[in-house]
Structure 1
Amino acid sequence: MKMTFILAALVLGALLIVGSSGNFRKYESTRGIMVSIVPHDQEYMGFGCEDGYAATVVVDRFSAGYFSAINVTNNLPTDSEVQVALYPDYSGLPVQLGVLIESDTGLPVTLSPGESHEFMGYYMAGCVAPGEYVIPMTMYATWEGGGASISTCPVRLIVRGIPTIKKVLLSGNTTGIPLKTYQEWVFQIVVTNPTNEDLNLTITDTIPAEFNVSLLGTGASAGTYRFWPANAGGCHHGCGGGHGTSPATKMEWNVTVPAGGSEHMNVTIFTRVNGGGQQEFTSCGPHPLNDGAEIKGYGIVSNGLWVSVACGGCCGNCGCGGDGD
């Protein structure tokens, strides 16, 4: 059955006849009480349940998709058709997590005797906080001569966290840097995994052309990494810090970050002597150490790092020319 999605929920009409709970298959009473309870899927209006939930859906932030919400079977002993509609309670969901479940508008599904129907759902997740979100559901069933309001098992949505990345400057000057003097910095890339499973991640970064990478001063807590000149394409073996025509330097770090843990990589860079024989920096003002490292496949980029070079006596502001003279 094709799902119909609307923005406002319709109010349940008075056409549904609310009768027995439908949760018991046998009830006898004399001086005492005898109750025989059967599994949910064997009740008059059977429905699937596992670990207390009709469905458990694992959701990533900024994603959308369909899921099976609940399977309902007409087990009535009277060989009657049943009209079934679900009324989920979405009130516990944050605005960043939208869910629609088939028949939630009040349009019922008709089930013949012994027939089953899989009610589908659709979720739309934005910048929602990781965690578990539960949707209680009430099933209304009507048939000739009767009806029932039944509390089914709820739907559970588990929103997984996503990895985070940040960059921290561990050492090196950030302001008042003189022109044409050797400078060195150490920055750290930190990747954190808030999920409950290990993540295999690829981190990429670009070091601007004003710098070389000190391989001896570089190391990672886990994983493997490589550097290569930006104009060399995807170098895979023997990649160095990028010399020759002094291009920018590319970096790739492949690492498994354990569930609930973090890993880091320390990178040492220093100013180059450019092709004209001048020690960088040769111009004053702000300079990026880099724009930010990226977790590939997630589109997540860290903060960038910037430093400021003093103009000295070359001019009265930071609008000096390329050589700072």
Structure 2
Amino acid sequence: MKKLLIILAATLVLVLGSSGNFREYYGARGVAVNIADNNSSYIGFECPEMTLYLANGDSTGVISVKNNLGEDVELYFSTPNDILTFSNPTFLYAGEEKLVEAEFRGSQGEYTIPIDIEAFWDNGSAKIPACSVKVVDPAVRMSKVLLSGNTTVPLFTREVWKFRILVESDAGDNYTILDTIPAEFEVLSIAASDGSFATHHPGAGRSCTTKIVWDVYVEGTEFMDVTIATKHNPAGKQEFTSPGSYNLNDGAEIKGLGIVSNPIIVKAVR
């Protein structure tokens, strides 16, 4: 527990503790009460622990903030050289929590970017050194796009989907792309814009997955189109047999670089 100290002062100053929350409040009345850390801090914030893989111009959520002031607040976010650019201000009602997005404006490389917050409310203001995010703009980028097929499907019905693995590189290099098709699906066809590929089936019978290995030189853009369908399970029933969310494939990975694409997810309903 930390002390909430309120003393006579001409201006309002807020001091930030190392955990990323306001720990002490200096204000205009001579009383003191106790507050808890974390949840009852005045402005709570959290940056993602994972590395963000972004290219110049990409936008994503970079910091989560919560207003515990007891009144509405306007927040202005900034970073050195505006390498992360925010649509300021962000307005939060009392008790509101929000994930704030920013646009990355940088070149290829690895960055650790500190975020500062300036907060304004009716009874005061504060400058807050918040947290840092790690951003990597790699020489190669990868994504998945659903080209055809439904994202909501009925149970016990054969469905067909076609998706694309898209690889972009400014450097020009050889890459090995790995992907996994879960056991609920069969691969109907694969077509690549360039390079060579192979499939492997670890496991046995109808319960095995399909592993795709694609070796390709990329300078600019290359892609692989994969067509899959739900198959019969080991009991002979047509997938999907249970409602829920299913990955058409796991996130494709660029071997040796740790770069993973988004998965494509569909929902089975009764």
Q: Please tell me whether Structure 1 or Structure 2 has the larger radius of gyration of its CA atoms.
A: 1
Q: TM-score, normalised by structure 1?
A: 0.42
